[in-house]
Structure 1
C-alpha cells in the first residue's frame, strides 16, 4: 500500500501583503500529477490546511477544487485531512458529509461520549487499496486545544468539576492538559488495536511539536503544551507503522524513520528559503513500514535573499543576480534585501528602486539595521520588529523594563497566556460559525 504524506499548506497565506495563490495552485497541480503517477492509495494532510481560521473564499476554493479533481482522477483514493493550530476545527468539519462522497475524511475536533470517554471511532479512518480492501487504519488526530482535552473544560466535565477547578493553580491546569493529551492518544490507540485485523497497519496522523524537532527561524506559531512547546515521541508506540506529523515546516524525522514531518510545500518565510520542500511517499507491506521516499516539490516562484551587508555590497549582489525578463509577473522571484547602515540613509529606497529598474524581481522588504550603533559585528543576525515572535519580543520588553531576564515562571506564564489568546481566536470563530449554522436552519 502506498501513502502520500503532506502538511502545512497554509492556503490563503499572504507574503508581506502579497497573495500566493499562484504558488499554492502550482503545488496542488503538481500534487495531483504525483498522486496519479505514483498511483497512491491515500493522501494524508497533517493540518494547517489554511493560514488563518477564517480563510478567504479563494483559499477554500483551492482546497475543494483539489479534492474534486483528485477524486475524478483517482476514484479509489482516500484523503484524510486534520485541522492544525492555524485552522478552525468546525470550519474544517463543516463540509465533511459532502466530502465523504469523494472519499475524503475531514477531522477538525475531538468529541466525547456521555460517559467522558473519547469518541475514538470517528477518528479512525480505514485506508483501502485499489480493490477496496482495508489495508490500514489512520488514527486522525487534529490539533488538541486545552478546552477539548482537559476534564475541567471538556464537554464531559460536570458543573461541579468546572467549579472546583476555579481555585486550582496554573500548574494543575498544565498538568491536566498534558495528561489529557496522553489520555486521548491512549484511548485512540487502544480503539485502533481493537479494530485492526491481521496484516492491517496503524498509521497515526497528528499536528503537534515533538521534542527534539527543529523549528523554523520565524514562521511557525508556537504550540504551548503544559508550559512547554513539545511532546514526547513516546506517545506513538512501536506497533504504529508510521506517524505523519504536521506543524513544523522543516522536513525531518524525529527519533526513527517512521516518525516524520513532511514540512510545508512552499517556503512561508525567507528563513525557509533553503528548505528541501517535499512530500513523503510511504510504502507499507502488511502491517509494517517498508520504505519512505522524499519527493521534492518544484518551486514555482523563487525566493532571493541578499545580505546582510553594507548597501554597496548588497547593490552589487543585486546587480549580479540573474533574472528572467520573460517570466510573467506572478512568477517573478520574491526579493528580500538585508542592509547594514552606519546611520539614517534617506535615499535608501530610491537607490534600491533605481537598481531594480527593469529587473524581473519583486521586492518584498528591505531590512535595515545599525550594527555599529548597537556594537554588533557586521554580518551578525538581523533583528527587526517583524522578525521577532511574541515570546522574544516579550523577553526583550521585560529585560528592558526590569533590567534582568524574565525567570522561568514568568516565561512559562506568558507562553500559556499566548496560547490561550490564540485558542480564544479560534473558538470565537467557531462559535460564530456555529451560530450562523444554527440560524440558517428552518
Structure 2
C-alpha cells in the first residue's frame, strides 16, 4: 500500500485515564492553547526570528540534538466520565512549539494573586510543575535578534497574597527524610536525564487560574502545589524551559492529578498538535465516541505513558511482534530500538520508489530519498501500528520533508531514529487523528 504526500494539519489526542473496579468516572474539562518554540505565533510573542528554517537540515538536526540533550524522566495517564465541562488555562488553551527554546511545546499559565503569567514547557515525561522562583540560578529573560530584551516573570511566595508553603508532613512531600521537622518547608529536587539538568527548591501552594473550555468560558481557580524553583541547571539555563516546566505525568504531584483529586475534572487530559506548531490542551477531555483504546503497561516504581504494540504494517506487509513504547511530548522524534527499528525501516526502504540518499550525516534519519526540484507528488508506504487490545492506529505522514538550499537537495525521510535503549513515540510522529490511552481499562 502507498500514500500520496499532502501537507495538512495533524492532531494527536492523548487521553489520560485512571479507572477503578472496571469503571471510569469523569467531571469537567479545562483547556489551553500551546505552541512549539519555533512556531510563527511564538516567534511573534518572543520576537525571536534567528531560528532554523522549518524543513531544513539545520532544523531537523537541531531537533535531534535537543532530544539527545534534554530527555526528561517520567511518564503517566488517567479516565473517562460524565458531562462536566473541560477546563483549560485562563489565558486560553493555545500551545506553541518554540524551537528556539528547546523544540518544546509551550503554553501561557497564570498563577497567584495578583496573577503572573509564565510561558511554561509542557512535558508528559515528568510530573512536577515548577516555576523560577526567588532565583539563585535561573533565566530572567531573552535577547531577541533585534536587540529587544524579553523579561520573564519570576514567581515569589512573598508577593502573592494567596501563596503558602507546603510542609514536610504533606502527602505530596517526597523528600521528608531531608526535613529537619514536620512543619519545615518541603524541599524538592528533580533530576532529568540530560547531564547536569536539574531543578531544585521547595514546594508551595497557590492559585492556578483556569477557565472552562467552552464558548462562554467561566473562570475557575484551583489551589495547586508546585515547585518554587530557586536553582535551575543544565538545559534550563541554555534555552529549554527557561520560564518553567509543566509536568503532565501520572504522579500525584502533577497538575492533572491534583485537579482530579479536587473533583474538578476526571483524571484525564488531551493534547492536540498542529503542523504549524500550534496546538491545544484540555483537562478533563473524555475523547470522542468509538475511538480506539489501549491499556497502559505500568511500572510500579514510576508509571509512565507506556503502551504495547503487537503488530506493525508497512505498505500492507504486516508482521506480528510485540514491543513497548512511551508517548512523550517532550521528545521531538520517534526513537525505536531493534527489532522494531530494523523491521519498519528495511521494509519501508524496500517499498520506496525514489533513490535512497546515503550522504545525510547531518540528519538524524537513516532512510532518506531524493526528490527532484520540480516533483510535487510522490508515494510512500503506509505505516500502521496495532496496539494491545487489537486497535489499529494509522500513522499520518510518517515522513519528514527536508530541503538543503545550498545543495539544491530535496528529500523525504522516514521519521524514525534508531535508539539504543528505550522506545519513544515523539511529538513529530503523529499517530492517527487521535489516540486514547486508558490506565487499567480499555474497550473497543
Superposition TM-score, scaled by structure 1 size? 0.24
Using CA pairs under 8 Å that are at least 6 residues apart, name the structure with larger relative contact order, 1 or 2: 2
In terms of fraction of residues, the more helix-rich structure is: 1
- The structure having more radius of gyration, on CA atoms, is 1
In terms of fraction of residues, the more strand-rich structure is: 2
